[in-house]
Amino acid sequence: MRDTAPPAVGRLPVSPGVYRFRDAGDRVLYVGRASALRSRAA
């Protein structure tokens, strides 16, 4: 299991990238792409 907190939205890049939703067991449930990570997370 991960022991780090996700970054604050303001610290995410505005550039394109991928994001992953994970369950409590740290298994990847969903992988998505975004043209701007910051706007997707907000």
Query: For 5-40, what is each residue's pLDDT tens digit?
Result: 767 888 878 889 888 889 999 999 999 998 988 887
CA separation for the pair 1, 38 (Å, rounded): 24
The number of domains in the chain is 1
Residue 24: domain span: 9-41
Q: Is residue 37 part of a domain?
A: yes
Structure tokens given for 41: 């997370």
Is the residue at 17 inside a domain?
yes
Which pLDDT does position 25 carry in this prediction? 93
Terminal C-alpha separation, the chain = 24
- Is position 2 within any domain? no
Per-residue tokens: 4: 């780090």
Q: For 2, which DSSP code?
A: -
Which pLDDT does position 40 carry in this prediction? 79
pLDDT given at position 36: 85
Q: How many CB atoms lie under 10 A from the CB of residue 19?
A: 14
Q: Is residue 4 part of a domain?
A: no
- Per the document, the length of the chain is 42
| Predicted local confidence at residue 3, as pLDDT | 65
31 part of a folded domain: yes
